Structure 1
Amino acid sequence: MKVVYTAPNKSHHYIYALGLLKANILYRFVSGFSRFSPRAKQAELAPKIRRADILQTIYIACLKFKLPDFLSRKIAYLAKIEQDLACKKYVKDCDIFLFYNGSGLSSCAYAKKNGVITIVEAVNSHISFQEDILKTEYEKLGLVWKPSYQKEKERRIKEYQEADFILMPSEFVRSSFIQMGFAKEKLLKIPYGFNKFQASNHQVVKDNTKFTVLFVGSISVRKGLRYLINAFNDLKHPNKQLVIVGPTNHDTGIADLSLSSDIVFRGVLKGNDLEDAYHNADVFCLPSIEEGLALVLGEAIASGLPIIATTNTGASDIISDGCEGFIVPICDDKAILSKMQLLADNEELLTSMKQAAKFKSKDLPGWDVTTSNLVNTLTTIFNEKKNSR
């Protein structure tokens, strides 16, 4: 079995490619991740990797130098076409073509003509599903809604339809495709792996008199932070604190809110500083309106934190509602407040959920498990097709 895999960035894609390589099934890995990045070097992948990164590098430069949005979106679209065209010379010689959504329409059609199995990777919910949610939220907040670049949206939808299968990381993403009319048999769910903090001698002294809620993520409309802030403002506790970790987007969704002194913005944290933020917290809250599967949920669980997260974060693939935390509806500050107040008032419940989170962390899959699941899934699909001939 031979697999061609393509993706525009590093993220988990290098991990997937390495997993396919170690299973001896990676034929080519066509990457759009810029060769000029110090993080692009990967000696093990060198014999299999092919770069299609010229336009993606230009796109990253557009973002860095804050060039007009219409230009960067156009280049991002063209960068995926560059990756698509680069794959075409390899797919006729493979058995499975696995491609990031937006990066494989032409090669997918060519592969299917040559009897190759095609799988599109969707890291977020169906593009129309997520746009409907976000458009509603932007309009509710009186913000200017910018839809996806239309040609790219059309391309993504065609890939959903043309590919034999759709690979996705969470039940939330899967349910969005089912709601959009896709057959369950076409949908392949493989949750991401999770990195745990490295063991170290670094010690953290926690202030147990304070009830601290932690948020880690971008300060953006998509992350739904305003609903957490509203809930926190109404939380009744004599010594409370909300710690917000992450970069600030152009549209934050919180510009109209009053921010008290017990709401602390820490910016981007890494290493020991990020680990400290988790270990100094009592509860982790992720009120996102849409995302595929939030890796920060795994970091929170590994730190022994009960989680309050929305249905649209992939949380149901990590925790059981009422055991290691709570899963609440999107855009519902009252639901967040209810669960937060419950944990603030009930020390016994808070302690038991912390213990459950710590116990759960032992069962969180690492990336080795995820890549093994990916290889096994591809092998099963390949064998089923071979046996049906």
Structure 2
Amino acid sequence: MAKNIIVSQIGARHRYTIPKTFYENNILKALFTDSYRYTFLGKLSYLFIRLGIKKTIFKRLCLRLPQIPQSYIKASDKPTLKLLLKKNVNTELLNEILYFTLDHFFCKHKKIINEADCIYNMYYENLGFIKYAKKQGKTVVVDIYENPISFNFLLNEVNKYPEYSCIRGIKKQYEDRIAIREKYVSQMLQTADYYTVPSKYVLKAMMAYPEFNPKKAFLLPYPTSIQETNYNYRPIKHKIIWVGNDPVRKGLIYCAKAATILKQKYTDLDFRIIGSIDNKYKDIAVFKDLNFIGTLTSSELKEEYRTAEAYVFPTLSEGFAGTVIEAASCGCPIITTECAGTDLEAFPAIYIPIQNVNAIVDSVTSILENSKYRDQLSLKTFQYSQALTPETYEKRLISIFKSI
């Protein structure tokens, strides 16, 4: 059993749920991380906000607040400072700076490392540090939170659809992301003693790597960030939603083409696109039948889920799609692909093939034409979501580390 765990993560992944859970169970040795609310940049950001300078980066740093005593946290602003001082950083260099700058800083904390027995690391981040820890005899567990070849799929999409070229540099971004994964994922797998994966979809994808040993893998689905305990589904006729910030990965172009077909029959169809989507998409003909809403507050998003006849999410690749579980928590019927990362046998969604406009049209039509079927799906998804609580995730997380 792991009793003194160092959590190594960049950013506020899962709102620092992992170190918080370990702390509450008396097995956290330390959190090694980058900028957060009480580093120099975090304090400076808080001051700027108090002075009325409310830039996004300041807000984000102030929201990075691990719910553990500061004495457990070893953090540095170095990656953030490097990024702020550099201009024209490509995606590959950005990843190098963000995820590998702190290797030396983490390794300096030799006393903490010596007293630890396990490192829980996020993906290929801080690879130099986990290699060092492994040499010191520590058990290394990594969380593989995505399908590493996702960006190969996305690059193919960009090459296939010229509509995506409206986003400057998107092809180069994907090429850089592919390159960094090709450089580091195999090394990560060779270093790790165990892995956690959020879905069977990721587990299946990892089998393409000869270094991956499925016997070392633990299935650990992520919890929902929206937890509704009261069923309050109130669908508005012909209202369909899509939620996300990545149009390519999450198949927006297929929704757009489906919306155009569906509007021929349902002229009042409101296919709402929720999330931070570049305004350039609105001016492209293929997206003309979509209603771009923009970003919403948590309460506004819940209301969208509760009042949509369906959430259409034809994703090409995920680790474990949080928005699908959010929708389920609000009782919204879901149309998605196996790539969402949900359990195909247990999760009550309508599953469709990827890149298939007709399948979207047929699935949406089946819901719009049959309110009884829609309501049955709604109740089933809501009931299923009740098992994907933060408490369930935390219990599973602790049980995994008890078995190591």
The bucket for the TM-score relative to the shorter chain is 0.7 to 0.9
Letter in 2 for 1:169: P
User: For residue 87 of structure 1, what is the aligned residue in structure 2?
Assistant: 106
> How many Å separate the matches in 1 of 2:398 and 2:6?
13
> How many Å separate the matches in 2 of 1:3 and 1:82?
21
1:213 aligns with 2:240: yes
Q: Is the 8 A contact 2:312 2:335 kept in 1?
A: yes
Structure 1 pair 358/318, CA: closer, same or farther in 2 (3 Å)? farther
Structure 1 pair 194/280, CA: closer, same or farther in 2 (3 Å)? same
Report the Cα offset of residue 69 of structure 1: 4.0
3-state SS of 2:296 partner: coil
Residues paired across the two proteins, number = 364
3-state SS of 2:141 partner: strand
1:183 aligns with 2:213: yes
Structure 1 pair 57/335, CA: closer, same or farther in 2 (3 Å)? farther
TM-score (structure 1 length as normaliser): 0.85
Letter in 2 for 1:290: S
Q: Which sits farther off after the overlay, 79-88 or 302-311?
A: 79-88
> How many Å separate the matches in 2 of 1:339 and 1:380?
42
Taking the TM superposition and a 5 Å limit, the aligned residue runs for 1:324-363 are 324-363=348-387
Q: Is the 8 A contact 2:124 2:188 kept in 1?
A: yes
Any runs of at least 4 consecutive aligned residues in structure 1 with deviations exceeding 6 A, and if so which? none
3-state SS of 2:240 partner: strand
Taking the TM superposition and a 5 Å limit, the aligned residue runs for 1:237-248 are 237-248=266-277
Q: Is the 8 A contact 2:15 2:66 kept in 1?
A: no
> How many Å separate the matches in 2 of 1:250 and 1:272?
24
CA RMSD of aligned residues (A): 2.7
Structure 1: runs of 5 or more not aligned: 382-389
Taking the TM superposition and a 5 Å limit, the aligned residue runs for 1:98-177 are 98-125=120-147, 127=148, 129-142=149-162, 143=165, 145-146=171-172, 147-148=175-176, 150-151=179-180, 153-177=182-206
1:15 aligns with 2:45: no
Structure 1 pair 163/75, CA: closer, same or farther in 2 (3 Å)? same
Structure 2: runs of 5 or more not aligned: 43-60
1:293-316 deviation line (CA, Å, top 9, x unaligned): 111112111111110011111132
Between the aligned residues of both structures, percent identity stands at 20
Report the Cα offset of residue 141 of structure 1: 1.4
1:218-239 deviation line (CA, Å, top 9, x unaligned): 1521111111121122123353
> How many Å separate the matches in 2 of 1:358 and 1:14?
26
1:46 aligns with 2:75: no
User: For residue 402 of structure 2, what is the aligned residue in structure 1?
Assistant: 379
Report the Cα offset of residue 280 of structure 1: 2.0
Q: Which sits farther off after the overlay, 164-173 or 146-155?
A: 146-155
1:70-124 deviation line (CA, Å, top 9, x unaligned): 2x64243123223322332343331111111232322222222222111122211
Taking the TM superposition and a 5 Å limit, the aligned residue runs for 1:279-318 are 279-316=306-343
1:48-78 deviation line (CA, Å, top 9, x unaligned): 111033213543x489xxx5242x6424312
> How many Å separate the matches in 1 of 2:307 and 2:70?
41
User: Of 119, 133, 137, which residue of structure 2 is paired with 1:97?
Assistant: 119
